[in-house]
A = this chain, B = another copy of it.
Amino acid sequence: MEYMNTAPVASSASAGGPRWLTDEEQRVWRSYIEAATLLEDHLDRQLQRDAGMPHVYYGLLVKLAEAPQRRLRMTELAMSAKITRSRLSHAVARLEKSGWVRREDCPSDKRGQFAVLTEEGQEVLRKHAPGHVSAVRQAVFDRLTPEQQKSLGEIMRIVAEGLQPREAGADLPWLR
């Protein structure tokens, strides 16, 4: 009896026993885990080395850069980046220290805070975007056919949807 993989191997009867993954499903799952691990690691390294920040932080700057006044409420930013507010708080504190983001009080809600991309923040993006795109291209797009790219998009969209926030809850309204 093989127990698991990052999920176990086949051999399911009919009754309530857990539906293990088939061999094929397992191969798929392992490929996913490996690629995801290697990829995130690769991008983290690339950005840490070149831009001095991890991939997630870079993503935050990008979201801000695209937002109306290059600003977003903390909660909005957290939701859009799919991270907890707590994590965001720490992250923004760090980005503030680096001078790439600044906090601003929200006039309409005294509890609220805006995270605002600074000029230096924009500069950092301008400077390192090319390297980052190229890393992404090299690791992913250059290796996939147009059909595969399309497939990947559909698949990931479905998975993401299934895990979306839904209803509220303690510190993580999102993340179920």
Contacts and interface: CB of A to CB of B under 8 A. Distances in A.
Interface of A: 2-8, 18-21, 24-25, 27-29, 31-42, 45, 55, 58-59, 62, 65-66, 81-83, 122, 125-126, 129-130, 132-134, 136-141, 143-144, 148-160, 162-164, 175-176
Given A28-B149, A155-B144, A21 B133 contact: yes
Copies in the complex: 2
Contact of A156 (B28, B160, B163, B164): B28
Contact of A7 (B7, B132, B143, B151): B132
Given A3-B65, A133-B19, A164 B38 contact: yes
Contacts of A37: 81-83
B159 A139 contact: yes
Contacts of A136: 6-7, 21, 29
A138 B163 CA distance: 10
Contact of A133 (B7, B35, B160): B7
A38 B143 CA distance: 24
A27 B153 contact: yes
Given A4-B65, A35-B156, A139-B163, 14 more contacts: A3-B126, A4-B62, A8-B129, A18-B134, A28-B149, A34-B160, A35-B159, A38-B159, A38-B163, A39-B159, A39-B163, A41-B175, A45-B175, A144-B158
A156 B34 contact: yes
